[in-house]
Amino acid sequence: MLQTGKDLSGYCQGLIKTGLSRLPKEVPENHNLLPHQGSIQDHIRLIEISQEVMRKLIEDKRIQDAAAPVLLPPDFNKRNIYVSPDDPTVITGIIDWQSASIEPAFIYANDIPDFASLPEEPEKELEDAQVEPKTPSDKERERKDALICHQTYDVCMKGLAPKLRPARLLDQTLFRLFHYCHTTWGDSAPAVRQELIELSTCWKELGLQGSCPFSPTDEELERHARDYDDFEAVQRLKLLLKHALNTNSDGWVPNEEWEAAKEVHRELYDQWIETAREVQSSGEDLTVDKADKMWPFNAR
């Protein structure tokens, strides 16, 4: 993170500078970006309007109170936690601290590590393609175990990290722009634009003063609706693959399941492309080239 100050205003300036620094100077002619990615100028405009909106947000006393400085592990997931081989309840080390930084409490308020997350139900069409399909009793046991971990983690965080409490009590719509304004190029333009639209729509309802600096036109909203449909399709595809391959959004797979996951991955990719080929032949919007770009993992 680029450091430009020690207060909330300086923190926001750092987010904006970081977002701008991550934009490419130009997009290569042979780029492999989805249409909804947005142009470089689109991203510059989104980052600039995000700056204006955040200036208004940080004037709110509730957001100021929810911005106490906090240092927590930035990637507190199972793969980064080492335990004793003799007693798995004893943590011997936590790795991957290199990107740790002191952040406002509202950045961490609703972070839930994978070991405390509730299981999500996969779509039926990919449930049978999982590396290890689960029986109803397995699913129920997993749900109960996950619920215990989720509730325990919640209680621990309330007791051990009280600085998070003011932020956890507020509507998270107030804070999501701080999460995405500096990652627009990686997340694509519709992600941050959606946050701006939701803020603009709910501005008065959220108890914010004045008017939102972002006021999209009907034409911009219509274009965004199309782009956001594509963005959500990619997110749904990622979720389906996470369940089918027993992986996370970055593609991490347990060593003992790697070979099986590769085989299932290839089958799913072939099915996805074949579906796109059929859809394309019927004259609809999804083409084989677009489907290939939507695939979230590098392997083919």
Please report the pLDDT score of residue 122 as a whole number.
56
Is it the case that residue 78 has pLDDT exceeding 80? yes
Lowest mean pLDDT among 28-37, 47-56, 136-145, 238-247: 28-37
Evaluated on CA atoms 290, 45, 19, 225, the torsion sign reads negative
Domain ranges of the chain: 1-66+170-213, 73-97+107-162, 217-300
Q: Are 210 and 176 in contact (CB under 8 A)?
A: no
What digits encode the pLDDT tens for the residues 189-198?
A: 999 999 999 9
Report the pLDDT value the prediction gives residue 272, as an integer from 0 to 100.
92
d(CA 203, CA 53): 11
Query: Mean pLDDT, to the nearest integer, of 271-281?
Result: 89
Interatomic CA distance for residues 46 and 186, integer angstroms: 13
92-96, 132-136, 290-294: range with lowest mean pLDDT: 132-136
Q: What is the pLDDT of residue 1?
A: 41
pLDDT digits (tens, 9 = 90+) for 121-150: 655 545 555 556 678 888 889 899 999 999
More confident residue, 205 or 236: 205
What's the pLDDT score for residue 3? Answer: 46
- pLDDT surpassing 70 at residue 84: yes
Closest CA to 113 of 156, 175, 70: 156
- Residues 48-57, mean pLDDT to the nearest whole number: 98
Hey, what are 107's tokens? 């950045």
Return the structure tokens found at 276.
Answer: 């796109």
Reference 153, options 243, 80, 76; nearest CA is 76
- Read out DSSP for the chain? -----SSHHHHHHHHHHHHHHTS-SS--TT----GGG--HHHHHHHHHHHHHHHHHHTTSHHHHHT--EE---TT-SGGGEEE-SS-TTSEEEE---TT---EEHHHHTT---GGGSPPPPPPHHHHTTSSSPPPHHHHHHHHHHHHHHHHHHHHHHHHH-GGGHHHHTS-GGGTHHHHHTT-HHHH-HHHHHHHHHHHHHHTTTTT--S--S----HHHHHHHHHHHHHHHHHHHHHHHHHHHHT--TT----GGGHHHHHHHHHHHHHHHHHHHHHHHHTT-S--HHHHHHH--SS--
According to the model, what pLDDT value does residue 2 have?
A: 39
Report d(CA 155, CA 68) in Å as an integer.
Answer: 20
Residue 300's pLDDT band, with cuts at 50, 70 and 90, is: confident
Token couple for 116: 């405390």
pLDDT value, residue 4: 45
Spatial contact of 35 and 162, defined as CB atoms under 8 Å apart: no
Q: In terms of DSSP bridges, do strands 69-70 and 81-83 run parallel, antiparallel, or are they unpaired?
A: unpaired
Q: Take residue 31 and report the two structure tokens written for it.
A: 């780029």
> pLDDT at position 5, please?
52
Rg (CA), the chain: 21
Contacts of 230 (CB under 8 A, 6+ apart): 34, 35, 36, 190, 294
Query: In the predicted model, what is the mean pLDDT of residues 162-182?
Result: 96
Q: Which residues, 6+ apart, have CB-to-CB distance to 215 below 8 Å?
A: 200
Higher pLDDT, 245 or 58: 58
Distance CA 245, CA 130 (A): 6
Residue pLDDT, tens place only, 222-256: 999 999 999 999 999 988 888 888 887 778 888 88
Q: What is the mean pLDDT of residues 42-71?
A: 97
119 pLDDT tier (thresholds 50, 70, 90): confident
Q: What percent of the chain has pLDDT above 90?
A: 64
Instruction: Say what the pLDDT of residue 124 is.
Output: 53
In the chain, pLDDT over 70 holds for what percent of residues?
Answer: 92
Handedness of CA 124, 128, 131, 133 (dihedral sign): positive
Q: Mean pLDDT of all residues in the chain?
A: 89
